[in-house]
Chain A
Amino acid sequence: MVPLRIGFMPLVDAALPILARELGFGEDEGLDLTLVRDLSWATVNDRLLYGHSDAAHMLAPLAIATTLGLGRPATSISVPFVLGLNGNAITMRPGVAERVTTAGRPGDVAAIGAALRTVAAEARADGKPLRFGVVHRFSSHNYMLRYWLSGCGIDPDADVEIVTVAPPFAADALAEGEVDGICVGEPWNSVAVDRGVGVIVAVTSQIWLRGVEKVLAMRTSRMEDRAPTEKLLRALYRAGLAFVDPERLDTIAAILSRAEYLDGPARLIRGAISDQIIFAKGHGAVHVPDFMFQHREAANFPWTSQAAWLYAQMARAGHVTANAADYQVAQGVFRPDVYRAALRPLGVPLPGASSKLEGGIADPLAVGTTQGRLILGGDRFFDARSFDPDQLDRYLSIGAGK
């Protein structure tokens, strides 16, 4: 058995590494998996960088930022596998939520954004601008929230404040009025709803139907020891297959809720993994198709265009100054070649291309593969813009979105 340590944060989208261990897929591949739980991304990242873990459940933009050396010396990180798409939500204080949406059910996020624009302007005029909590500066949560706000005519820097809040404390921050809204992963939105301190006003799949979320990150040097890496990817792929099996829902929710993993209520976790979302306390669950997307349509395939989109958002936020060399490096963090090599023996569909037009699919579309049949579902952004990774400058020049 080859020992492998995987770092993670207590979030529902850490499911695949946890299940790879608990359902025996790692063992089947000859891997002895140990899960290392931490409560901050900084610590998950430190353990990965200094060899305390071999791989980690990681924010995709943080993997790119670490490779580019933002805020610390550059260390090359690679992403050979995406752990899931979407699964986050934007939850607001009930007082704010009732002014922008009908509590309890999903609405049109463009209309909600338009209403929010008025509320944000009033709050700003009162000298108390709306404040939103995201889990990390380099998080898809931050970039997805900023994308939505600016697409609705709200300047994410001038019109509102965006601060960092650790996921397990997001509900507390809402309750204590420290923030007016949070963009966080599950089960923490549902926890806020359950306590009556927050109302879910939007889920991130409404902003981008196939938004890249957590990834499997490895030091590039560690990943290049290919045999264990490929075994791990196969175990994770099988865990994804189990994750979407409705027969296993209760088992999976029970495993994830355990103290050593999420340490949260199985009832709320079960809701998230079955796309059954309670938007406001006292309301019934609403089925949100594709709320979390962990397996179908080669969801785990690391498209370099996903990394490109994230880099574009980092540039829009002023976190990087866009340049061709860094853009190449950022896209190179995602490693579709490693994914293909690892999963070929399983006979699963493998996309032929490594990059695609993001947000360009309205209706299910059959795409070219090197193996198997693959149909990708709609992947639209709420504002119907698309992102062509070959046209970064053009995207950024129009892309202010304001």
Chain B
Amino acid sequence: MRIAIVDESAARAAVIEEGLRDAGLSDVTIFVDRHGIAARLEEMSPDVVLINLANPHRDELEELFALSRAMARPVAMFVDQSDVAGIEAAIDAGVSAYVVDGLKKERIRPVVELAIRRFRAYSRLRTELAEARSALAERNTLDAAKLLLMKRRGIDEPAAYAALRKAAMDSGRRIVDVADAIVTADRLMGDL
């Protein structure tokens, strides 16, 4: 089974490809750049095309699929109207699939389900990464605020931290918000 993955995110495409390969599907081609995509897709003549729903080129690709004389015409997998849960899962995950006519449903379903799982896994990874980044940023802010307090007030680190914690408790804010206010104020005030 020849599978094309069309996705403007190379990272996500790689995550999906890896999943497909693990499942023994090795004839996979990734298309990230839109340039020349029509000719390359026609040359490859895929059985299944996976496209992220947010891809801005879906309309162009649908037109290509509808008109191409060079390749078997993939149609939207959503045409299997009976599979409402499957359609909803795909839309929730953000993936759309086009499949050439005549390919057996039993062969398609596992591919699409795998794509859905991988799309979800990728979103989860992204969320975790964003959380990790924001935790790191908070840590940096806290350190910068402590340094400022230590320098200005001539205190040591535990005292600086205690001062921050007390200010946070007194004002009902998070420590990092107090730290952020100190860093911002320092930037604004400079050496005044």
Please tell me which stretch of B50-58, B128-136, B168-176 contacts chain A, meaning at least 4 of its Cβ atoms lie within 8 angstroms of it: B50-58
Whether B60 pairs with A166 at a CB distance below 8 angstroms is: yes
Taking the complex as formed, is A394 at the interface, i.e. its CB lies under 8 A from any CB of chain B?
no
Q: Which of B34-93 contact A (CB under 8 A)?
A: 34, 53-60, 62-63, 66, 75-76, 78-79, 81, 84, 87-88, 91
Whether B60 pairs with A164 at a CB distance below 8 angstroms is: yes
Contacts of A49 in B (CB 8 A): 78
Contacts of B141 in A (CB 8 A): none
Whether A46 pairs with B91 at a CB distance below 8 angstroms is: yes
- Report the minimal beta-carbon distance from B70 to chain A, rounded to whole angstroms: 15
Whether A39 pairs with B79 at a CB distance below 8 angstroms is: no
Taking the complex as formed, is A136 at the interface, i.e. its CB lies under 8 A from any CB of chain B?
yes
Tell me whether A166 and B56 are in contact in the complex, defined as CB-CB below 8 angstroms, given that A52-B91, A137-B63 are known contacts. yes
Could you say which of A46, A51, A73, A165 contacts B60, with CB atoms under 8 Å apart?
A165
Contacts of A51 in B (CB 8 A): 88
- Report the minimal beta-carbon distance from A292 to chain B, rounded to whole angstroms: 22
- Report the minimal beta-carbon distance from B65 to chain A, rounded to whole angstroms: 9
Whether A135 pairs with B59 at a CB distance below 8 angstroms is: yes
What is the interface of chain B mostly: helix, strand, loop, or mixed?
A: helix
Count of chain B residues with a beta carbon within 8 Å of a chain A beta carbon:
22
Contacts of B62 in A (CB 8 A): 42, 71, 164
Taking the complex as formed, is A43 at the interface, i.e. its CB lies under 8 A from any CB of chain B?
yes
Whether B66 pairs with A166 at a CB distance below 8 angstroms is: no
The complex places the Cα of A137 from the Cα of B59 at a distance, in Å, of: 9
Whether B59 pairs with A168 at a CB distance below 8 angstroms is: no
Contact size range, A? 20 to 34
Whether B59 pairs with A50 at a CB distance below 8 angstroms is: no
- Report the minimal beta-carbon distance from A43 to chain B, rounded to whole angstroms: 5
Could you say which of A39, A50, A52, A71 contacts B66, with CB atoms under 8 Å apart?
A71
Could you say which of B56, B63, B88, B96 contacts A163, with CB atoms under 8 Å apart?
B63
Give B81's nearest chain A residue, CB to CB. A73
The complex places the Cα of A40 from the Cα of B87 at a distance, in Å, of: 18
15 other contacts beyond A42-B62, A43-B54, A137-B66, with CB at 8 A cut-off?
A38-B54, A39-B56, A43-B96, A46-B53, A50-B84, A50-B87, A71-B62, A71-B75, A72-B75, A73-B79, A73-B81, A164-B63, A166-B57, A169-B34, A169-B57
A-B contact pairs, 19 of them (CB 8 A): A38-B53, A39-B54, A39-B55, A40-B57, A40-B58, A42-B96, A46-B78, A46-B96, A47-B91, A50-B87, A50-B88, A71-B62, A72-B75, A72-B76, A73-B79, A135-B59, A137-B63, A164-B60, A166-B57
> What is the interface of chain A, defined by CB distance below 8 A to chain B?
38-43, 46-47, 49-52, 71-73, 135-137, 163-166, 168-169
